[in-house]
Amino acid sequence: SLTRPPDIQATRLKLPVVAEEQKIMEAVHNNNLVVIYGATGSGKTTQVPQFLFEAGYGSPDSPTPGMIGVTQPRRVAAVSMAKRVGDELGDQSNKVAYQIRFEGTVGPQTAIKFMTDGVLLREVAQDIALRKYSAIVIDEAHERSVNTDILVGMLSRVVKLREEMAAEDSSIKPLKLIIMSATLRVTDFTENATLFATPPPVIQAEGRQYPVTTHFARKTHHDYVEEAFRKISKGHRKLPPGGFLVFMTGQNEITHLSKRLKEAFRGGNTSAGPQVRISGKDAPMEAEDIDFGEIGTDTHDFDDDDDDGDEVDFHDDDDFDIGEEEEIGPAKMHVLPLYSLLPTREQLRVFEPPPDGSRLVVLATNVAETSLTIPGIRYVFDCGRSKERKYDDVTGVQSFEIGWISKASASQRAGRAGRTGPGHCYRLYSSAVYERDFQEFAEPEILRMPIEGVVLQLKAMNLQHVINFPFPTPPDRQMLASSEKLLAYLNAITPSGQITSTGSTMSIFPLSPRFARILLVGHLHDCLPYTIALVAGLSAADVFIPENQIVPTIAPREEDGYFTNADRIEEEARNKIRRNFNKIQKEFCFLDDKSDAIKLLQVVGEYAHDPTEAWCHTHYVRYKVLKEILQLRRQITDLLRTNITAFAGLKFQDKLEPPSAKQVKALKQMVAAGFIDHIAIRADLAPVPPEVRRKPTRSIDVPYLTLFPSNISREDDDKAVYIHPSSPLAHLSPQECPEYIVYSYLQRAAPAAATPEKLPKTRMHALTDIT
């Protein structure tokens, strides 16, 4: 049996889910499928796997020896929850392990395995019966990521299959599937007859553990980063001890805010308040402030489905009067960022206690919205927005748009303040905006993403008519049709929709179909090692750190205020960075000055010769991403060797010589092979060139037209697409602009707030010119 540390035992007993243990385990015993709903903090993630474990799941000598698999939509969550459950299991902590894409601790002793949902999806593709497992817990199902949705669909079939197998062979046990959600929006799962013929039982655990008081702002400020800075500064001076968790939308904002806070609170808390220099660019746009006037108070009909016992305070929160007679918090601030591209080691710093006499201030994107418990967080500051990828399935144009989160997300964020004690959530928006502009729930990701990868995987699993797959929310038919069209271009399926042998080979690789296609033509001209490096690079997150995200390292300043001097020093540091940045970008292009793809290949190649953080730092590229690219290169090489007879002798070479001119040319053609539907022609060469009022003076203003109609409909009638300023092509003169460009995707920024009527240009993320 199990000996848990006494403090953990005491905390456990207070968790609402623990009170339901018997009910949950009875339901699991009587049903192969169970849905558990419990608000954030009720103990789902940490406790349910332990209930299963204590009931014998995952123990080699029990009737249910297979592992307990627990999925998380995010890697940080998989790693940190494995750690927490390990701690809770005390002397049996070695029974818990995690597996994320390139990293894991799973061994023969593992009984509970935390993993990302992507990892489990790959495992289903290898063994449709998931024989290694006796139970699967799908956590955070309410987030509705594409992977989670596909997993739920597949597992509904796996459960059936295991039932059938168990009926025939008593040595095989049925698989238990537990779907957990922090919101009650589970009807897409429970009332979906194609998914589950009989609706599964839903077990509800009580709300969160500690009360969280929610404070709305009186006004919704347009510049929420500025507003966050103001509120955090004031809150830090006035609020009793307790960590801050601040929700922002992206890395840029976090870097900016972190710098401001560090500057303002460098020497600790000053009673005069922070001295902050606001440049014109950062100044709040007062005229733009969205002010929706009065907010309802008495008549206000607030219903939040999980605010049991919680209060909502409609008064202005500026005084931070939280009705407690307590000492004011510590003077110093310990500011830490938390976003997905941050190296794992730095992400995990938020779980460590802050230095004595300082307040922990975590600036996070919505990676911190679910799963994670950051010890000591007592106050949440929520900007109410998030950055989401939007994808237009008709035009193929992608954009990253900052928009309001859903009410469900807002309540998740607030819940982060009540995990280890009572807390407060300061919303940087008014209740009027919340009521009027926030949807109940976010739209499932499958409706917002290109899905050719999903379609190929399903076809590779012998599902010719993908529309018949039991999707919790079926994708749009138009989206399915365009995915099939693309797969047909790539020769992955026949015109009638059947998978080809090329298509099944493509599906083996953890790559999007376009990159898998490039890989399979990549052995010509002895290019294979380069092609592998290139597709690995192209499928990873962005390697390059934009210049505006580089934080100058400035020698520590004296505390007694050489502020004007400091400004000058900072400006010099900036200029130095700019010169250096441009020089380095140029050097990366020495093989070819017109191709983003070859530039990326060069970075991947140079990194392999000096795979250190120091090298990445001096070259303004992301270490975490490059490390993953190197691992992916190794993985692709292994997959080629083991799956394709012609490559049986293939060895992995991490260090490569620069490719020859001939190879560079071949590589550029291969890239084009994966993107034949993404080619643009310089507009003046088109059969019907559009009228140009003024001759462009910069290459980024030279119009191009897409060869395949991209249906870009715009109010201002500009059907052209343009070079993105981050591309090496942006450094050419207009005369040097290539006739044809292959692009990976089109992107359009949201209109600037100051001039909403002026639409920004649609820009190509170029891959290469073709000659």
Residues in contact with Mg ion by the rule CB under 5 A? 45, 371
Q: Which amino acid is at 699?
A: S
Q: Residues with Cβ < 8 Å from 160, sequence gap 6 or more? A: none
Using rule CB under 6 A, residue 41 touches ligand ADP:
yes
**Strand order across the beta sheet in which 212-215 lies:** 312-313, 212-215, 423-427, 377-382, 243-247, 358-364, 332-338
Query: Based on CB atoms, which residue is closest to ligand ADP, 156 or 420?
Result: 420
**In whole angstroms, what is the distance from residue 566 CA to residue 671 CA?**
47
| CA Rg value for the chain | 27
Stretch that binds ligand ADP, among 40-48, 259-267, 299-307, 582-590 (CB under 6 A): 40-48
Min CB(338)–Mg ion separation in Å: 17
Query: Based on CB atoms, which residue is closest to Mg ion, 19 or 129?
Result: 19
Query: Based on CB atoms, which residue is closest to Mg ion, 78 or 410?
Result: 78
Helix, strand, coil percentages (3-state) for the chain, rounded to 5, are: 40, 15, 45
Among 34, 37, 38, 746, binds ligand ADP (CB under 6 A): 38
Using rule CB under 6 A, residue 84 touches ligand ADP:
yes
Min CB(118)–ligand ADP separation in Å: 20
Yes or no: say if 19 and 182 are a contact pair by the CB < 8 Å rule: no
Using rule CB under 6 A, residue 181 touches ligand ADP:
no
Vertex 82 angle, CA 77 and 83, to 5° = 100
Q: Would you give the binding string for ligand ADP spanning residues 197-236, x where CB under 6 A is met? A: ------------x---------------------------
Q: Residue 411: which of Mg ion, ligand ADP, none does it interact with, CB under 5 to 8 A by kind?
A: none
Stretch that binds ligand ADP, among 39-47, 146-154, 393-401, 695-703 (CB under 6 A): 39-47
Min CB(48)–Mg ion separation in Å: 9
Given the structure tokens 């553990």, which residue do they identify? 209
Min CB(139)–Mg ion separation in Å: 6
**In whole angstroms, what is the distance from residue 531 CA to residue 542 CA?**
18
Query: Based on CB atoms, which residue is closest to ligand ADP, 7 or 559?
Result: 7
Q: Residue 15: which of Mg ion, ligand ADP, none does it interact with, CB under 5 to 8 A by kind?
A: ligand ADP
Using rule CB under 6 A, residue 424 touches ligand ADP:
no
> Which of 415, 405, 407 is CA-nearest to residue 378?
415
Query: Based on CB atoms, which residue is closest to ligand ADP, 185 or 523?
Result: 185
Among 20, 27, 46, 99, binds ligand ADP (CB under 6 A): 46
> Which of 85, 80, 114, 84 is CA-nearest to residue 97?
114
Q: Residue 38: which of ligand ADP, Mg ion, none does it interact with, CB under 5 to 8 A by kind?
A: ligand ADP
Min CB(400)–ligand ADP separation in Å: 28
Q: Residues with Cβ < 8 Å from 268, sequence gap 6 or more? A: 331, 332
Which sign, positive or negative, has the C-alpha torsion 513, 518, 521, 526?
A: negative
Query: Based on CB atoms, which residue is closest to ligand ADP, 48 or 712?
Result: 48
Tokens of 15: 């968790």
Tokens of 437: 């502009």
Vertex 666 angle, CA 660 and 668, to 5° = 105
If DSSP states are collapsed to H, E and C, what string results for 345-394? Answer: HHHHHHHCCCCCCEEEEEEECHHHCCCCCCCCEEEEEECCEEEEEEECCC
Using rule CB under 6 A, residue 373 touches ligand ADP:
yes
Yes or no: say if 189 and 179 are a contact pair by the CB < 8 Å rule: yes
Given the structure tokens 């012998």, which residue do they identify? 462
Query: Based on CB atoms, which residue is closest to ligand ADP, 44 or 594?
Result: 44
Min CB(330)–ligand ADP separation in Å: 20
Min CB(113)–Mg ion separation in Å: 16
Min CB(8)–ligand ADP separation in Å: 9
Query: Based on CB atoms, which residue is closest to Mg ion, 365 or 371?
Result: 371
Tokens of 328: 């004011």
Among 18, 34, 36, 40, binds ligand ADP (CB under 6 A): 40
Yes or no: say if 82 and 116 are a contact pair by the CB < 8 Å rule: no
- Of all residues in the shown chain, the one whose CB is closest to Mg ion is 45
Min CB(14)–ligand ADP separation in Å: 8
Given the structure tokens 């060139």, which residue do they identify? 689
Using rule CB under 6 A, residue 71 touches ligand ADP:
no
Query: Based on CB atoms, which residue is closest to ligand ADP, 373 or 406?
Result: 373
Min CB(371)–Mg ion separation in Å: 5
Min CB(358)–ligand ADP separation in Å: 19
Q: In this structure, which long-range contacts are made by residues 704-708, counting pairs with CB atoms below 8 Å and at least 24 apart in sequence?
A: 704/680, 704/741, 704/764, 705/680, 705/681, 706/678, 706/679, 706/680, 706/746, 707/679, 707/680, 707/681, 708/677, 708/678, 708/679
Using rule CB under 6 A, residue 74 touches ligand ADP:
no
Among 147, 420, 699, 747, binds ligand ADP (CB under 6 A): 420
Which sign, positive or negative, has the C-alpha torsion 744, 750, 752, 756?
A: positive
Q: Residue 457: which of ligand ADP, Mg ion, none does it interact with, CB under 5 to 8 A by kind?
A: none
Stretch that binds ligand ADP, among 34-42, 463-471, 620-628, 691-699 (CB under 6 A): 34-42
Q: Which residues, listed in sequence order, are joined to residue 364 by a DSSP beta bridge?
A: 247, 338
The residue ranges that bind ligand ADP (CB under 6 A) are: 15, 38, 40-47, 84, 209, 373, 375, 419-420
